[in-house]
């Protein structure tokens, strides 16, 4: 797919013009610009010899959400104060299936972050091969320090508006940062009450009411399965490797669990306060303690050192600890250019993204220039939404598959995504997984949009 010098110059000029227009139309949305730029710089050269896509203005259409729903969420706290938050659902693209994607409750949530996440979700969901469009939603609600009653009232108020915009064949939300088992349960309970029907309109549900086995583990397990496939291309494996994991929420916990199961040594975990470094390795017992601390006690990772030893580095990220493999599993832009250079100079061979867009574009450039095995989020963390898709299927069939069955399907899907990345991203001896994921995700959605005509 190598372009001539003239074609490359034309593509570069078009990319610049396209990004200038996108930034003008979406002023003040830096995360959305970043996510689009990362995709467009692969898609624009790919489109050079594809007149049908160009004539149909596919890229302009794919970067404009189908709709954005914004609503007031009004609730009362434990002191009877009236509180107001802003709820949003970005229904980005439903060309290949009903809208699907998580809900994020975090103080930083804004339209730029939700549009970047919704845009990414379109490509990610396409890569899974399941029939799912892309969406994302959430609120600028901070669950930290809130009582269960406050979280319940917030979730019920949030769903009291969202319910009219979603449905099992329309839009199926799920969890993300700040939305775990507790929040999904409150949200689903309220949805069921308002609609007076029991359908799988939310995924990540409890096992007693339609949830799928392995959904809790899926994003983290999938991220490690993807890493294992990448290592396999160089005849290598996870066993014996020193691993850095950031975050300590859902994705980080099950990334760490699978790494330990496969013989890796997990040295770090983190939260928004800082990171812990345990040179002896975080084993299964220590990890179980962390899962309980973060999921049930809602504590801070800093508490780890009093119980298990090791070091706590306040306000810092773990990327300076020497390692073989790195798994950013906390949040966007948590791994910057300087971190990427440090990882490379410390001998890191692989980065597999559990979080969405954790690496900046400058960090990604360093990884690719140094031919590191770099698994971008839309490929490496697609296991979560893939098992959400399997949960929808089980709900529609009114049955539940075994743990082994779901895990096997998850593994097959991650291997398949890896193959797609190789097909679209092979560049001589090197596999550019960023390009592979972008083009592999793009083609199916673009073909569906072409087939529909102008809409």
- Can you read off the two tokens belonging to residue 162? 């969202």
- Would you say 305 and 86 are in contact if contact means Cβ atoms under 8 Å apart? no
Rg over alpha carbons for the chain, rounded to the nearest Å, is 21
Distance between first and last Cα of the chain: 30
Among the listed ranges 64-72, 243-251, 318-326, 344-352, the one in contact with ligand NDP (CB under 6 A) is 243-251
Tell me how many residues contact ligand 2IT (CB under 6 A): 12
Assess 249 for contact with ligand NDP (CB under 6 A): yes
Site string for ligand 2IT, 333-362 (x = CB under 6 A): -----------------------x------
Q: How far is the CB of 251 from ligand NDP (least distance, A)?
A: 4
Coil, helix or strand at residue 447: helix
- Interface residue with ligand 2IT among 33, 41, 89, 100 (CB under 6 A) is 100
- Interface residue with ligand NDP among 264, 318, 384, 389 (CB under 6 A) is 384
Assess 183 for contact with ligand 2IT (CB under 6 A): no
Number of residues written out for the chain? 455
Phi and psi based region of residue 454 (left: phi greater than 0; alpha: psi -120 to 50; beta: remaining): beta
- Can you read off the two tokens belonging to residue 116? 């970047």
Query: CB 60: neighbour CB atoms within 10 A?
Result: 12
Contacts of 292 (CB under 8 A, 6+ apart): none
Distances in whole angstroms, Cα of residue 254 to Cα of each of 38, 179, 231: 27, 16, 19
Site string for ligand NDP, 65-104 (x = CB under 6 A): ----------------------------------------
CA distance 174 to 106: 15
**Contacted by 354, from ligand NDP, ligand 2IT, none: CB < 5 to 8 Å by type:** ligand NDP
Give which of 386, 395, 409, 443 is closest to 191, Cα–Cα.
395
CA geometry: angle 123, 90, 440, nearest 5 deg: 5
Q: Is 17 a catalytic residue?
A: no
Assess 211 for contact with ligand NDP (CB under 6 A): no
Assess 102 for contact with ligand 2IT (CB under 6 A): yes
In the block, tokens 């104060």 appear at 81
Between residue 179 and residue 198, which ones bind ligand NDP under the rule CB under 6 A? 180
- Interface residue with ligand 2IT among 45, 65, 87, 101 (CB under 6 A) is 101
**Contacted by 249, from ligand 2IT, ligand NDP, none: CB < 5 to 8 Å by type:** ligand NDP
**Contacted by 211, from ligand 2IT, ligand NDP, none: CB < 5 to 8 Å by type:** none
Between residue 374 and residue 413, which ones bind ligand 2IT under the rule CB under 6 A? 384-385, 388
Assess 142 for contact with ligand NDP (CB under 6 A): no
Which residue among 136, 241, 265, 294 is the active-site one? Answer: 136
Active site residues: 136
């Amino acid at each position: 797919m190598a372009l001539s010098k003239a074609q490359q110059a034309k593509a570069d000029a078009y990319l610049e013009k396209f990004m200038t227009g996108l930034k003008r139309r979406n002023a003040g949305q830096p995360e959305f610009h970043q996510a689009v730029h990362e995709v467009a710089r692969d898609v624009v050269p790919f489109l050079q010899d594809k007149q049908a896509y160009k004539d149909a203005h596919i890229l302009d259409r794919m970067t404009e959400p189908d709709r954005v729903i914004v609503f007031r969420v009004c609730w009362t706290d434990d002191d009877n104060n009236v509180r107001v938050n802003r709820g949003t659902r970005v229904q980005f693209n439903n060309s290949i299936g009903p809208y699907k994607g998580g809900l994020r409750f975090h103080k930083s949530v804004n339209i730029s972050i939700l549009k970047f996440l919704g845009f990414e979700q379109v490509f990610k969901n396409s890569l899974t091969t399941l029939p799912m469009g892309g969406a994302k939603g959430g609120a600028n609600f901070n669950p930290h320090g809130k009582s269960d009653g406050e979280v319940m009232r917030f979730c019920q108020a949030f769903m009291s508006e969202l319910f009219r915009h979603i449905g099992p064949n329309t839009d199926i939300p799920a969890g993300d940062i700040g939305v775990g088992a507790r929040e999904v349960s409150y949200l689903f309970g309220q949805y069921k009450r308002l609609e007076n029907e029991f359908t799988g309109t939310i995924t990540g549900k409890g096992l007693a009411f339609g949830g799928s086995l392995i959904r809790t583990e899926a994003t983290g397990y999938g991220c490690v399965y993807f890493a294992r496939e990448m290592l396999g291309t160089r005849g290598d494996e996870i066993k014996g490797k020193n691993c850095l994991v950031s975050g300590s929420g859902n994705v980080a916990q099950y990334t760490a669990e699978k790494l330990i199961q496969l013989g890796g040594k997990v040295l770090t975990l983190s939260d928004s306060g800082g990171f812990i470094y345990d040179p002896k390795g975080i084993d299964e017992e220590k990890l179980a303690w962390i899962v309980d601390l973060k999921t049930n006690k809602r504590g801070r990772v800093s508490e780890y050192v009093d119980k298990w030893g090791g070091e706590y580095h306040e306000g810092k990220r773990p990327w300076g600890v020497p390692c073989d493999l790195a798994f950013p599993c906390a949040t966007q832009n948590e791994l910057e250019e300087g971190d990427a250079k440090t990882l490379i100079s410390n001998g890191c061979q692989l980065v597999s993204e559990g979080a969405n867009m954790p690496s900046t574009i400058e960090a990604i450039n360093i990884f690719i220039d140094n031919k590191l095995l770099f698994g971008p989020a839309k490929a490496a963390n697609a296991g979560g939404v893939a098992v959400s898709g399997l949960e929808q299927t089980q709900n529609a069939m009114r049955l539940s598959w075994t743990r082994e069955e779901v895990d096997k399907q998850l593994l097959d899907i991650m291997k398949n995504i890896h193959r797609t990345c190789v097909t679209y991203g092979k560049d001589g001896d090197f596999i550019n997984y960023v390009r592979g994921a972008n083009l592999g995700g793009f083609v199916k959605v673009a073909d569906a949009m072409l087939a529909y005509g102008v809409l």
